[in-house]
Amino acid sequence: MKRNSLNPWRMALEQLDSVAGRIGLDPGIHKILQHPKRQLIVSIPVRMDNGDTQVFTGFRVQHNVTRGPAKGGIRYHPDVTLDEMKALAMLMTWKCAVVGIPYGGAKGGIICDPPELSSGEVERLTRRYVSEIISFIGPEKDIPAPDVNTNPQIMAWIMDTFSMDRGYSVPGVVTGKPTSIGGSLGRNTATARGVMYCIFNIAKKLGFDPLTQGYVIQGYGNVGGNLAHLLNQQGCKIIAVGDAEGGIYNKKGLEPDKVSEAMRESGSVIGFTDAERITNQELLALDCDVLVPAALENQITEQNADKVKTKVIVEAANGPTTPEASGILEDRGIFVVPDILANAGGAIVSYFEWVQGIQFYFWSEREVNLKLRDIMTHAFETVFNLSSEHKVSMRTAAYMLAVEKVAEAIKVRGLYP
């Protein structure tokens, strides 16, 4: 599932330009939205376990903060680039707007290969990175969260480093933390649960029983793995899953508990033996009812979109489908729920966690999940109705809604000075 050479920032700008023309976006506001508000590149010197010093490169990009403080994940990956951070920050702006939470978009990352680093090296890398971007972030400015290869422990180190600088605990500086230090119940499964709510909403609109469908999930990390478990608990049949090493397929259905156990033992889902081994390209081309790309961006492209055999695609990953592929899928009549709607559950419950941390008043998991369901359902209904009214795809409708919301906020606030 390696990303190809397609430039994510170029694709993000093309998507904005396309929607701007459709909604008659004010040219001045269009220009503002074409440029991230802030871009920070930092050098991160780290003392390695062997005593050597290695210097890593890190980024933090804030696309827009008109509707509220910036919000967005931090990823650790060898292929992190500034253009990727800019594109994902813009996507986060639209995602927060489409579901109606008061944030703008941000994204951060470090060019590194976490499996090659010890836990101590990752901690020192994280803390030094935070010290370099510390003037950029804060509960009122920019609230990071987990992303690819980052987790609650890394969020805890971020919170602790920021809090040591302030001299008191600041739980609202980051979301996705362990619950022992102010994390929210339900946050770990929030993105996956939001995807599941989208699937159930699609079923109502398209008139099918979600419990009788065959599901294929590309990616078995926090989102894909949790989604497999959640769908299985509802009685849904998962026929294939995949990760970076490849995929596994069993038309009779997979048991996520056993797949996860095999993954813990072997490091990959392909360690599960009661299934057929397949490649990730074969996984994307499987005949199924619902396909969920939950890995990295640019997985469904112009080269393989015509091979996809599904009725519904729900984008659990950020940017898994290129613009060219989106057009092919739309022409083929495949119903696609775009990433800025489908995977917004993590952003929504991050917002809940931020609110709880600021108030020092915490909610039950049931309350979190019910609030998440209500927001996801309302956003889905709004986008679906807009799609039907204007006879456009769900992706176009979601972008129209999001860009109009951000544009209205810019217009109302005006330019200073």
pLDDT of residue 2: 43
pLDDT of residue 52: 97
Predicted confidence (pLDDT) per residue in 56-79, tens digit: 999 999 999 999 999 999 999 999
pLDDT of residue 282: 95
Four-residue CA torsion sign, 157, 120, 61, 321: negative
- Given a contact cutoff of 8 angstroms between Cβ atoms, the answer to whether 158 and 136 are in contact is no
pLDDT of residue 148: 87
Domain 190-342 sits in CATH 3.40.50.720: yes
223: enclosing H helix or E strand: helix 222-234
DSSP annotation string for 320-350: -B-HHHHHHHHHTT-EEE-HHHHTTHHHHHH
Q: Which residues of the chain have pLDDT under 50?
A: 1-4
Q: Encode 262-308 in three state secondary structure.
A: HHHHHCCHHHCCCCEEECHHHHHCCECCEEEECCCCCCECCCCHHHC
pLDDT of residue 319: 87
Predicted confidence (pLDDT) per residue in 358-383, tens digit: 999 999 999 999 999 999 999 999 99
Predicted confidence (pLDDT) per residue in 315-361, tens digit: 999 889 988 899 999 999 999 999 999 999 999 999 999 999 999 99
- Given a contact cutoff of 8 angstroms between Cβ atoms, the answer to whether 337 and 313 are in contact is yes
Considering the chain, tell me which residue range(s) the CATH 3.40.50.720 domain(s) occupy.
190-342
- Given a contact cutoff of 8 angstroms between Cβ atoms, the answer to whether 141 and 70 are in contact is yes
Question: What pTM was estimated for this model as a whole?
Answer: 0.92
If you ran DSSP here, which 8-state letter would residue 117 be given? S
The reply to whether 177 belongs to the active site is no
pLDDT of residue 5: 52
Copy the structure tokens of residue 308. 């996809």
Q: Which member of 71, 95, 107, 237 is catalytic?
A: 107
Fold of the domain spanning 36-170: Rossmann fold (3.40.50)
Copy the structure tokens of residue 370. 């019910």
Considering the chain, tell me which residue range(s) the CATH 3.40.50.10860 domain(s) occupy.
36-170
